[in-house]
Amino acid sequence: MTIFHDQIGAVGAPAILTPEAQQSLWFLGALIHIRVDTSATGGRLAVIEHQAERGLASPLHRHRADDETFLVLEGELRVEVDGQARAAGAGAVAFLPRGLPHAFVVTSAQARYLTIHTPAGFDQFTVAAGTSVDQTGTTPNPAALAAMAAEYGIEILGQQ
């Protein structure tokens, strides 16, 4: 068995997470499932599955600390990054390096997609800003969302 070391020499522990160990919640109008969280990867990676309906959109924002990758499983998104918009249908991958302004909107009736965050941390923001699946999904007001996002290294630049 090969064990990989990170830059400071620590060995990462493997993680196998059953669906029961994963958290589900409402985040900005989408039902999300945090498939892999910060604690499972020592902060290296977070993977979130999103299920959303047409019109769900993120505000224009930028991540200061993490790269974000979208993998569209079903449906279609329009992804805007650094002022350029592109359609991303099932099977498409959009890599959004940290620091670049970006946003997205669901353009199909429904969409299911993964976001992968390296390093992790965005998952913690979703928990802070989200609501339980037992409650109706609500979105914090824009000022509160921007303040909360800033605590996690995310700068809200405007609405789509």
Query: Per-residue pLDDT tens for 25-79?
Result: 999 989 999 999 999 999 999 999 999 999 999 999 999 999 999 999 999 999 9
Query: Per-residue pLDDT tens for 133-153?
Result: 887 656 678 888 999 999 999
Q: What average pLDDT does the structure give for the chain?
A: 89
pLDDT number for residue 16: 87
Q: What residue type is assigned to position 80 of the chain?
A: E
Packed helices 142-151 and 122-129: angle between N→C axes, nearest 10 degrees: 150
**64 vs 155: CA distance, rounded Å:** 8
Question: pTM (2 decimals)?
Answer: 0.88
Q: What is the CATH number of the domain that holds 30?
A: 2.60.120.10
pLDDT number for residue 159: 66
Query: Per-residue pLDDT tens for 98-117?
Result: 999 999 999 999 999 999 99
pLDDT number for residue 32: 96
Torsion of CA 118, 148, 71, 39, to 10 degrees: 50
Domain presence at residue 2: no
Domain presence at residue 11: no
Domain presence at residue 117: yes
Full domain range(s) for residue 120: 19-158
* pLDDT band, residue 160 (cuts 50/70/90): low
pLDDT more than 70, % of the chain: 89
Domain presence at residue 152: yes
Q: Are strands 30-36 and 84-89 parallel, antiparallel or unpaired?
A: unpaired
The domain total for the chain is 1
Domain presence at residue 9: no
**46 vs 121: CA distance, rounded Å:** 7
Domain presence at residue 97: yes
